[in-house]
Amino acid sequence: MHYGLMITISLAAAASLFIFAGCGGAGGSYLERLGAVTMKGNPLTIQGPDVQLGKPAPDFRVVDGAFAPVNLSDFKGKAVLISAVPSLDTGVCALQTKRFNEEIAKLPEDVVVISLSTDLPFAQKRFCDAEKVGAIKVLSDSVYRDFAYKYGVMIKDMGLLSRSIFVIGKDSTLLYKEIVPELTNHPDYDKALAEIRKAAG
């Protein structure tokens, strides 16, 4: 084969591989659920699978305030409540995060409560310092978008998480989820707290 042709084919193959790999990264091709949630009545599209109860909860990687990776699997053997919010800079999200920060003191010791958003860790730290939020783990999905796409809560074209709650059992089974239908509404706190207590056994 002619040397120039070999280079052309190799470059084409490399380009194809790059395009294929891009489908799995942030902004790539994902299952879309049109109008799955609304914001002030306007339909939004969320991306990612509709995770199923009773199945193993997908592992995911997010970052802490120092940009160090944190995985769901780090909390294996504990009951985990995940409170996902669009942004801590909004009123409902701030109240949701503070509510779970207050409630954790009433929960069993082997419960982990995680607040997730795509806010940068710097912004999350400012919020936590200002609002005295320190009992729960406030983590960021700004780097990998791993939670967003694996749990089907990425709001298309906004880069924000749809307001949602997930409860994961000690055996890593997904036990409860609430994708709040209207983004500006609060989740069902009482139901979520009852489910995490049940999960803790």
Structure tokens at 64: 């802490």
Task: Please count the other Cβ atoms lying within 10 Å of the Cβ belonging to residue 177.
Answer: 21
Residue type, 113: V
Burial class for 125, CB neighbours closer than 10 Å (0-12, 13-18, 19+)? middle
Q: Which of 93, 107, 133, 167 is catalytic?
A: 93
Among candidate residues 85, 84, 69, 55, the one with its CA nearest the CA of residue 168? 55
Determine whether 93 is an active site residue.
yes
d(CA 98, CA 164) in angstroms, rounded, equals: 15
CA 45 to chain centre: 16
Are 56 and 173 in contact by the 8 Å Cβ rule? The answer is yes
Residues 6+ apart with CB under 8 A from 94: 88, 127, 131
Active site residues: 93
